[in-house]
Amino acid sequence: MKIAIIEPLGIDEKAVEKLKQDFLPEDIELVYYNSAPQDDEEKIKRSEDADIVMLANMPLRKDVLEKCTKLKMLSVAFTGVDHVDMDYCKANNIMVCNCSGYANEAVCELVFGMVVDLYRNIFAADEAVRTGKTKAGLSQFELCGKKFGIIGAGAIGLKVANVAKAFGCDVYAYSRTPKDIDGIKFVSLDELLSICDVVSVHVPLTKLTKDLINAENITKMKSTALLINTARGPVVNAKALADALKNNTIAGAGVDVFDNEPPIAMDNPLLSAPNVVLTPHIGFATKEAMEKRAVIAFTNINKYLMGKPQNIM
Protein backbone atom coordinates (compact mmCIF):
# COMPACT_ATOMS: atom_id res chain seq x y z
CA MET A 1 0.00 0.00 0.00
CA LYS A 2 1.22 3.46 -0.88
CA ILE A 3 0.48 6.75 0.88
CA ALA A 4 1.36 10.02 -0.85
CA ILE A 5 1.51 13.33 1.00
CA ILE A 6 1.19 15.54 -2.05
CA GLU A 7 1.86 18.97 -0.52
CA PRO A 8 3.83 20.35 2.45
CA LEU A 9 2.36 19.88 5.92
CA GLY A 10 4.40 22.61 7.57
CA ILE A 11 6.62 20.07 9.30
CA ASP A 12 9.99 18.67 8.23
CA GLU A 13 10.84 15.23 6.87
CA LYS A 14 12.17 14.00 10.22
CA ALA A 15 8.83 14.75 11.87
CA VAL A 16 7.01 12.95 9.06
CA GLU A 17 9.26 9.91 9.47
CA LYS A 18 8.56 9.87 13.22
CA LEU A 19 4.81 9.98 12.57
CA LYS A 20 5.16 7.11 10.11
CA GLN A 21 6.92 5.03 12.74
CA ASP A 22 4.30 5.91 15.37
CA PHE A 23 1.14 5.41 13.31
CA LEU A 24 1.75 3.24 10.24
CA PRO A 25 2.71 -0.40 9.63
CA GLU A 26 6.30 -1.00 8.59
CA ASP A 27 5.38 -2.29 5.13
CA ILE A 28 3.60 0.96 4.11
CA GLU A 29 5.30 2.98 1.37
CA LEU A 30 5.14 6.66 2.28
CA VAL A 31 6.16 9.48 -0.05
CA TYR A 32 6.27 13.06 1.24
CA TYR A 33 6.46 15.91 -1.26
CA ASN A 34 7.75 18.92 0.68
CA SER A 35 6.96 21.38 -2.10
CA ALA A 36 3.69 22.52 -3.60
CA PRO A 37 2.63 21.01 -6.95
CA GLN A 38 2.65 23.59 -9.72
CA ASP A 39 -0.40 22.36 -11.62
CA ASP A 40 -3.00 19.61 -11.92
CA GLU A 41 -0.66 17.48 -14.01
CA GLU A 42 1.80 17.39 -11.13
CA LYS A 43 -1.00 16.61 -8.64
CA ILE A 44 -1.96 13.64 -10.80
CA LYS A 45 1.64 12.42 -11.07
CA ARG A 46 2.00 12.50 -7.28
CA SER A 47 -1.35 10.83 -6.59
CA GLU A 48 -2.19 8.43 -9.41
CA ASP A 49 -0.63 5.28 -7.94
CA ALA A 50 -1.45 5.98 -4.28
CA ASP A 51 -4.04 4.13 -2.20
CA ILE A 52 -4.21 6.98 0.30
CA VAL A 53 -3.52 10.65 -0.38
CA MET A 54 -2.88 13.27 2.26
CA LEU A 55 -3.26 16.96 1.43
CA ALA A 56 -3.82 20.23 3.25
CA ASN A 57 -5.79 23.09 1.66
CA MET A 58 -4.75 22.56 -1.96
CA PRO A 59 -7.77 22.21 -4.29
CA LEU A 60 -8.37 18.64 -5.41
CA ARG A 61 -11.14 18.36 -8.00
CA LYS A 62 -12.70 15.70 -10.21
CA ASP A 63 -10.28 16.19 -13.10
CA VAL A 64 -7.44 15.10 -10.81
CA LEU A 65 -9.31 12.54 -8.71
CA GLU A 66 -10.63 10.61 -11.70
CA LYS A 67 -7.04 9.87 -12.72
CA CYS A 68 -6.31 8.32 -9.33
CA THR A 69 -7.84 4.91 -9.95
CA LYS A 70 -6.31 3.24 -6.87
CA LEU A 71 -7.44 5.94 -4.44
CA LYS A 72 -9.42 4.69 -1.45
CA MET A 73 -8.97 7.46 1.13
CA LEU A 74 -8.18 11.15 1.44
CA SER A 75 -6.70 12.34 4.71
CA VAL A 76 -7.30 16.09 4.59
CA ALA A 77 -4.92 17.93 6.92
CA PHE A 78 -7.33 20.84 7.20
CA THR A 79 -10.58 21.69 8.95
CA GLY A 80 -12.76 22.44 5.93
CA VAL A 81 -13.12 20.23 2.86
CA ASP A 82 -14.72 22.70 0.45
CA HIS A 83 -11.54 22.50 -1.65
CA VAL A 84 -12.13 18.78 -2.29
CA ASP A 85 -14.68 17.42 -4.78
CA MET A 86 -16.79 15.69 -2.16
CA ASP A 87 -19.50 14.66 -4.64
CA TYR A 88 -16.95 12.74 -6.69
CA CYS A 89 -15.50 11.10 -3.59
CA LYS A 90 -18.93 10.00 -2.39
CA ALA A 91 -19.90 8.63 -5.80
CA ASN A 92 -16.65 6.66 -6.01
CA ASN A 93 -16.48 5.38 -2.41
CA ILE A 94 -13.41 7.42 -1.52
CA MET A 95 -13.34 7.99 2.20
CA VAL A 96 -12.57 11.55 3.30
CA CYS A 97 -11.37 12.44 6.80
CA ASN A 98 -10.50 15.96 7.95
CA CYS A 99 -8.50 17.36 10.88
CA SER A 100 -11.11 19.18 12.89
CA GLY A 101 -9.81 20.94 15.97
CA TYR A 102 -6.14 21.37 15.23
CA ALA A 103 -6.30 25.15 14.71
CA ASN A 104 -8.86 26.21 17.31
CA GLU A 105 -6.34 28.10 19.41
CA ALA A 106 -4.44 29.50 16.42
CA VAL A 107 -7.50 30.97 14.70
CA CYS A 108 -8.90 32.30 17.96
CA GLU A 109 -5.69 34.15 18.76
CA LEU A 110 -5.61 35.75 15.31
CA VAL A 111 -9.17 37.00 15.78
CA PHE A 112 -8.16 38.91 18.88
CA GLY A 113 -4.93 40.08 17.31
CA MET A 114 -7.01 41.72 14.59
CA VAL A 115 -9.55 43.17 17.01
CA VAL A 116 -6.92 44.65 19.31
CA ASP A 117 -5.01 46.11 16.37
CA LEU A 118 -8.15 47.73 14.99
CA TYR A 119 -9.19 49.10 18.38
CA ARG A 120 -5.72 50.34 19.38
CA ASN A 121 -4.34 51.29 15.94
CA ILE A 122 -1.12 49.38 16.62
CA PHE A 123 0.25 49.36 13.06
CA ALA A 124 -0.47 53.07 12.61
CA ALA A 125 1.02 53.86 16.03
CA ASP A 126 4.21 51.99 15.12
CA GLU A 127 4.48 54.01 11.92
CA ALA A 128 3.87 57.22 13.86
CA VAL A 129 6.78 56.53 16.20
CA ARG A 130 9.08 55.63 13.31
CA THR A 131 8.24 58.84 11.43
CA GLY A 132 8.54 61.27 14.33
CA LYS A 133 4.82 61.64 14.98
CA THR A 134 2.66 61.34 18.11
CA LYS A 135 -0.61 59.58 18.89
CA ALA A 136 -2.55 62.53 17.50
CA GLY A 137 -5.37 61.33 15.26
CA LEU A 138 -5.09 57.70 16.32
CA SER A 139 -8.37 56.51 17.81
CA GLN A 140 -8.19 54.21 20.83
CA PHE A 141 -10.95 51.94 22.16
CA GLU A 142 -11.25 49.20 24.79
CA LEU A 143 -12.61 45.75 24.08
CA CYS A 144 -13.78 45.34 27.66
CA GLY A 145 -17.51 45.98 27.94
CA LYS A 146 -18.24 45.60 24.24
CA LYS A 147 -20.90 43.32 22.78
CA PHE A 148 -19.05 40.54 20.95
CA GLY A 149 -21.03 38.60 18.34
CA ILE A 150 -20.08 35.17 17.02
CA ILE A 151 -21.61 33.72 13.86
CA GLY A 152 -21.20 29.96 14.10
CA ALA A 153 -20.99 28.24 17.47
CA GLY A 154 -18.66 25.38 16.59
CA ALA A 155 -15.39 24.61 18.33
CA ILE A 156 -13.56 27.72 17.11
CA GLY A 157 -16.56 29.97 17.67
CA LEU A 158 -16.91 28.77 21.26
CA LYS A 159 -13.16 29.20 21.85
CA VAL A 160 -13.50 32.79 20.65
CA ALA A 161 -16.52 33.24 22.94
CA ASN A 162 -14.51 32.14 25.99
CA VAL A 163 -11.69 34.54 25.21
CA ALA A 164 -14.17 37.36 24.58
CA LYS A 165 -15.64 36.72 28.02
CA ALA A 166 -12.15 36.88 29.50
CA PHE A 167 -11.75 40.32 27.91
CA GLY A 168 -14.93 41.38 29.72
CA CYS A 169 -17.24 41.33 26.70
CA ASP A 170 -20.93 40.49 26.63
CA VAL A 171 -21.07 37.55 24.23
CA TYR A 172 -23.81 36.86 21.70
CA ALA A 173 -23.98 34.04 19.17
CA TYR A 174 -25.97 33.02 16.14
CA SER A 175 -26.23 29.38 15.11
CA ARG A 176 -28.69 27.28 13.13
CA THR A 177 -28.79 25.07 16.24
CA PRO A 178 -28.87 27.35 19.31
CA LYS A 179 -27.27 25.94 22.43
CA ASP A 180 -27.65 26.46 26.15
CA ILE A 181 -24.21 27.74 27.19
CA ASP A 182 -23.55 29.82 30.26
CA GLY A 183 -22.39 33.31 29.42
CA ILE A 184 -23.47 33.22 25.75
CA LYS A 185 -26.80 34.60 24.59
CA PHE A 186 -28.06 33.00 21.38
CA VAL A 187 -29.99 35.42 19.18
CA SER A 188 -31.11 35.75 15.58
CA LEU A 189 -28.61 36.85 12.95
CA ASP A 190 -30.44 40.15 12.51
CA GLU A 191 -30.30 40.91 16.22
CA LEU A 192 -26.63 39.95 16.50
CA LEU A 193 -25.66 42.18 13.59
CA SER A 194 -27.65 45.13 14.91
CA ILE A 195 -26.41 45.15 18.52
CA CYS A 196 -22.83 43.86 18.47
CA ASP A 197 -19.69 46.00 18.45
CA VAL A 198 -17.57 43.15 17.07
CA VAL A 199 -18.87 40.42 14.74
CA SER A 200 -16.60 37.41 14.17
CA VAL A 201 -17.47 34.83 11.50
CA HIS A 202 -16.91 31.11 12.20
CA VAL A 203 -19.06 29.08 9.81
CA PRO A 204 -17.98 26.61 7.11
CA LEU A 205 -18.51 27.44 3.45
CA THR A 206 -21.69 25.79 2.17
CA LYS A 207 -24.45 26.71 -0.25
CA LEU A 208 -26.29 28.23 2.71
CA THR A 209 -23.39 30.31 4.01
CA LYS A 210 -22.00 31.66 0.73
CA ASP A 211 -22.53 35.46 0.79
CA LEU A 212 -24.12 35.15 4.23
CA ILE A 213 -22.61 38.51 5.10
CA ASN A 214 -23.77 40.49 2.09
CA ALA A 215 -24.51 44.17 1.50
CA GLU A 216 -27.96 43.91 3.05
CA ASN A 217 -26.70 42.26 6.22
CA ILE A 218 -23.74 44.61 6.59
CA THR A 219 -26.13 47.60 6.61
CA LYS A 220 -27.72 46.12 9.73
CA MET A 221 -24.47 46.57 11.66
CA LYS A 222 -23.57 49.52 13.85
CA SER A 223 -21.48 52.23 12.23
CA THR A 224 -18.88 51.68 14.97
CA ALA A 225 -18.76 47.90 14.52
CA LEU A 226 -15.88 45.68 13.43
CA LEU A 227 -16.28 42.61 11.20
CA ILE A 228 -13.72 39.79 11.46
CA ASN A 229 -13.57 36.93 8.97
CA THR A 230 -11.18 34.05 9.66
CA ALA A 231 -13.60 31.40 8.36
CA ARG A 232 -13.93 31.22 4.57
CA GLY A 233 -13.65 34.07 2.08
CA PRO A 234 -16.92 33.63 0.16
CA VAL A 235 -18.96 33.73 3.38
CA VAL A 236 -18.42 37.50 3.35
CA ASN A 237 -19.00 39.39 0.10
CA ALA A 238 -15.70 41.21 -0.46
CA LYS A 239 -17.13 44.03 -2.58
CA ALA A 240 -19.96 44.67 -0.13
CA LEU A 241 -17.48 44.79 2.76
CA ALA A 242 -15.11 47.11 0.89
CA ASP A 243 -17.99 49.44 -0.01
CA ALA A 244 -19.16 49.47 3.60
CA LEU A 245 -15.69 50.44 4.81
CA LYS A 246 -15.35 53.17 2.19
CA ASN A 247 -18.79 54.55 3.05
CA ASN A 248 -18.23 54.34 6.82
CA THR A 249 -21.16 51.94 7.13
CA ILE A 250 -18.97 50.03 9.60
CA ALA A 251 -15.77 51.13 11.32
CA GLY A 252 -13.30 48.40 10.43
CA ALA A 253 -12.61 44.82 9.45
CA GLY A 254 -10.07 42.03 9.76
CA VAL A 255 -9.88 39.51 6.91
CA ASP A 256 -7.69 36.40 6.76
CA VAL A 257 -9.57 34.53 4.04
CA PHE A 258 -10.51 35.42 0.48
CA ASP A 259 -12.46 34.03 -2.47
CA ASN A 260 -9.21 32.44 -3.64
CA GLU A 261 -6.06 31.50 -1.78
CA PRO A 262 -3.41 34.26 -1.64
CA PRO A 263 -1.75 35.77 -3.50
CA ILE A 264 -5.00 37.63 -4.18
CA ALA A 265 -5.71 39.61 -7.33
CA MET A 266 -4.48 43.19 -7.21
CA ASP A 267 -7.97 44.41 -8.12
CA ASN A 268 -9.51 42.88 -5.00
CA PRO A 269 -11.69 45.68 -3.59
CA LEU A 270 -10.45 45.11 -0.04
CA LEU A 271 -6.95 46.26 -1.01
CA SER A 272 -8.21 49.82 -1.45
CA ALA A 273 -10.58 49.84 1.52
CA PRO A 274 -9.75 51.83 4.67
CA ASN A 275 -9.50 50.46 8.21
CA VAL A 276 -9.03 46.84 7.24
CA VAL A 277 -6.34 44.42 8.41
CA LEU A 278 -5.56 41.81 5.75
CA THR A 279 -3.53 38.65 6.37
CA PRO A 280 -2.70 35.90 3.82
CA HIS A 281 -4.67 33.02 5.38
CA ILE A 282 -2.42 32.57 8.41
CA GLY A 283 -5.10 31.77 10.98
CA PHE A 284 -4.32 28.06 11.04
CA ALA A 285 -0.60 28.30 10.36
CA THR A 286 1.16 28.38 13.72
CA LYS A 287 3.99 25.93 14.37
CA GLU A 288 1.94 24.27 17.10
CA ALA A 289 -1.13 23.88 14.88
CA MET A 290 0.92 22.36 12.06
CA GLU A 291 2.24 19.74 14.44
CA LYS A 292 -1.24 19.00 15.81
CA ARG A 293 -2.84 18.61 12.40
CA ALA A 294 -0.13 16.22 11.20
CA VAL A 295 -0.77 13.99 14.19
CA ILE A 296 -4.53 14.04 13.52
CA ALA A 297 -4.02 13.33 9.80
CA PHE A 298 -1.82 10.30 10.54
CA THR A 299 -4.22 9.16 13.25
CA ASN A 300 -7.06 9.22 10.71
CA ILE A 301 -5.05 6.99 8.38
CA ASN A 302 -4.24 4.64 11.25
CA LYS A 303 -7.94 4.36 12.12
CA TYR A 304 -8.76 3.66 8.47
CA LEU A 305 -6.16 0.90 8.29
CA MET A 306 -7.47 -0.55 11.56
CA GLY A 307 -11.03 -0.58 10.22
CA LYS A 308 -12.21 2.25 12.46
CA PRO A 309 -12.51 5.18 10.06
CA GLN A 310 -14.22 8.49 10.80
CA ASN A 311 -15.67 9.46 7.45
CA ILE A 312 -16.93 13.04 7.42
CA MET A 313 -19.31 12.56 4.49
Catalytic residues: 232, 261, 281
DSSP SS3 for 299 = helix
Helix (H) / strand (E) element for 173: namely strand 170-174
CB atoms within 10 A of CB 50: 22
Integer Cα distance of 30 and 254 in angstroms: 39
Beginning with the edge strand found earlier in the chain, give each strand of the sheet holding 170-174 in spatial order.
184-186, 170-174, 147-151, 198-201, 226-229, 252-255, 276-278
Select from 246, 252, 253 the least CA-distant residue to 228. Answer: 253
CB atoms within 10 A of CB 95: 19
Integer Cα distance of 75 and 6 in angstroms: 11
Report yes or no: 58 and 7 within 8 Å, Cβ to Cβ.
Answer: yes
Integer Cα distance of 154 and 156 in angstroms: 6
- Residue 215 carries which side chain, given as an amino acid letter? A
